[in-house]
Amino acid sequence: MKILTVNAGSSSLKFNCIELPSENELISGYFEKIGMNGSFYSIKMNGNKTKREVDLKDHSDAITYLQEELFSNHIVSSLDEIDGVGHRLVHGGDQFKDSVLITEEVLHECEKFNDLAPLHNPAMLACIRAFQSAMPTTPMVGVFDTSFHQTMEELSYLYSVPFSWYKEYGIRKYGFHGTSHKYITKRMQELLKKDCVNLINCHIGSGGSICCIKESKSIDTTMGFSPNSGIMMGTRSGDIDYSVIPFYMNKSGKTLAEVDTILNKQSGLLGISEKFADHRDIEVGMNEGDHQCILANDMYVERIVGYIAKYFVKLDGKVDALVFTAGLGENAREFREEIVSKLSSLGILIDKEENRKYASYMDVQEGMISSSDSKVPVYVVPTNEELMIALDTYNIIS
């Protein structure tokens, strides 16, 4: 089967075409600045990447170019050869506990969550309808970023606010990066040759979340009602005392919308360093002795370590593996070493030589980086959300 995976943002569209069950990626692409000046897209195939500058007024234009690329690169000769389309949806509330076949009823249910993800959900739903128009007979599947975390219990997903907030407005922890955490769980079951695994999975990229996984199910995660909670990130603040917000508004005269923008787009590594959101740039600053870059890195490490320790206790120390994934987790070797070195009191130890071998741009990308006497194995495993979307789509339409 040929499965198309689609990840649409408000001004972007990422796609992959994957052949299953062989898991062979045939082509991938990324459309950027949709509806803006300077729009373009890039295509990757057989390791070769090409970029084309085109006018993309909306997502329908992107879909038209996507189809042309599938034809011109001989991926398909007809859209009927695409057996299914898997769409990433940011928010499924607590309604969708797994991936589902997309129907009109499902789309109407998803629309109810637009106010929970106002920047992403409407664009994704519009993109789904555009694909339905272009490929009316092709089954489509919705894969939700929140669904993997719907196995959390009340004590983990409820906030200590009036219970009516949850009953009336759905205010609770939802968690995100679920597709990545689900993929890592599946991959670790294969690597450890176990049907059920207990993991602490660290998805650390420009955005980051840590997930506590017991018997292959999410029981807690750092992101909450929104992706801004938990650990600090590239531009997101992570956890803060809520009283900071009205205090800062009174002092600065900023509106709530302005403060929300600051907390999501001007905080985290960027806020502390006052220079960089990308950890690679932070590392350069650290090497130059920049105090604020060093501070930003140390705060980042401290917060990640804190959550790992919390989840270690939550699993009663019965942890099959601590896993690092996503951009930073897969590539920042010194960063991984800093984190694990602070976990020695838990008996978690790193093998520095092994750790230096693993990065996505090197020949060795996946494997164990802990020392032989570590009480918990530590792994680096590249995530593959596109493959997880494709697998869910394949399983549902099969």
Enzyme catalytic residues: 145
SS3 35: coil
Q: Does an H or E element contain 272, and which?
A: helix 268-273
Q: Output the CA torsion 131→132→134→139 (10° steps).
A: 90
Own/partner pairs for 274-279, CB < 8 Å, 24+ apart? 277/206, 277/234, 277/235, 278/206, 278/234, 279/234, 279/328, 279/332, 279/335
202/222 Cα distance (integer angstroms): 10
Give me the domains of the chain, ranges plus CATH numbers. 2-144 (3.30.420.40), 194-385 (3.30.420.40)
In this structure, of 7-11, 39-43, 67-71, 113-117, the range with the lowest mean pLDDT score is 7-11
User: In this predicted structure, what is the pLDDT of residue 117?
Assistant: 86
SS3 23: coil
pTM confidence score: 0.93
User: In this predicted structure, what is the pLDDT of residue 89?
Assistant: 94
83-124 pLDDT tens trace: 999 999 999 999 999 999 999 999 999 999 989 988 788 888
- Residue with the larger pLDDT of the pair 202 and 13: 202
Instruction: Return all residues near 358 (Cβ < 8 A) that are at least 6 apart.
Output: 330, 333, 364, 365, 366, 367, 369, 380
